[in-house]
Amino acid sequence: MVSQREKGQVAIEVLRKIAEAHGFSLRPQDEPEYLSTVRAAQESVEYVEQMKDYVDPGLIRDLNVDGQIARTYTLPSPSENPLNAWSHRTYIKAPSIADSPGLLTGKTIAIKDNVSVAGVPMTGGTQPFHLCKDKPAPIPEIDAPIMSRVLQAGAVVTGTSTCENYCMSAMSCTSATGPVDNPWLRGYSAGGSSSGSAALIAVNFMKNRGRTSGISVEHLGEGVDLATGGDQGGSIRVPASYCGIYGLKPTHGLVPYTGIASLFPILDHCGPMAPTVRDTALLLSVLAGYDGFDPRMTPEAPLRDSTPRYHDRLDEQVAARAAAGTWTPAAAARGLRVGILKEAFEIAGLDAEVAAVVRKAAGRFAALGAEVAEVSVPLHLAAPHIFTAATRGYMADHLLFGQGSSTSASLPFPFPGAAAAPALDQAWYETMTASNPLVVVALLSSELLRDRARYPEAVRDKAVRHAHELRAAYDEALARFDVLVLPATPTVAPRHAGADMGIAEKTEFFLANTLNTLPFNVTGHPGLVMPVGWGRAGDGGEDEAARLPVGMQIVGKRLDEETLFLAASAWEVGGLGLDEE
- Residue of 112, 249, 506, 557 marked active site: 112
Alpha-carbon 265 to chain mean position: 12
- Extract long-range pairs of 499-506: CB within 8 Å, 24+ residues apart: 503/433, 503/437, 506/437, 506/438
- Residue of 87, 172, 189, 235 marked active site: 235
Asked about 241 being catalytic, the answer comes back as no
The residues with which 495 forms a beta bridge, in sequence order, are 188
- Any idea what DSSP says for residue 127? -
3-state secondary structure of 408: coil
Q: How far apart are CA 363 and CA 34, in angstroms?
A: 69
Q: How far apart are CA 316 and CA 211, in angstroms?
A: 29
- Extract long-range pairs of 28-35: CB within 8 Å, 24+ residues apart: 35/10
Q: How far apart are CA 399 and CA 497, in angstroms?
A: 23
Dihedrals phi, psi of 577, to nearest 5 degrees = -65, -30
End-to-end CA distance of the chain: 63
271 within 8 A of 249, measured Cβ to Cβ? yes
Strands 156-161 and 108-112: parallel
The count of C-alpha atoms lying within 13 angstroms of the C-alpha of 567, restricted to the half-sphere facing its C-beta, is 34
Asked about 462 being catalytic, the answer comes back as no
Asked about 435 being catalytic, the answer comes back as no
Q: How far apart are CA 177 and CA 162, in angstroms?
A: 8
Q: How far apart are CA 51 and CA 457, in angstroms?
A: 34
Q: How far apart are CA 425 and CA 421, in angstroms?
A: 12
Could you check whether the bond before residue 193 is cis, i.e. omega within 30 degrees of 0? yes
CA distances from 525 to 80, 98, 337, 464 (A): 38, 33, 17, 16
Q: How far apart are CA 256 and CA 258, in angstroms?
A: 6
Which amino acid is present at 452? R
Sheet holding 73-74, edge to edge: 73-74, 86-92, 156-161, 108-112, 226-231, 269-274, 246-249, 527-536, 547-556, 483-487, 337-341, 371-375
Which amino acid is present at 435? S
Torsion of CA 171, 176, 178, 179, to 10 degrees: -10
- Residue of 116, 193, 285, 446 marked active site: 193
Q: Which residues are catalytic?
A: 112, 193, 235
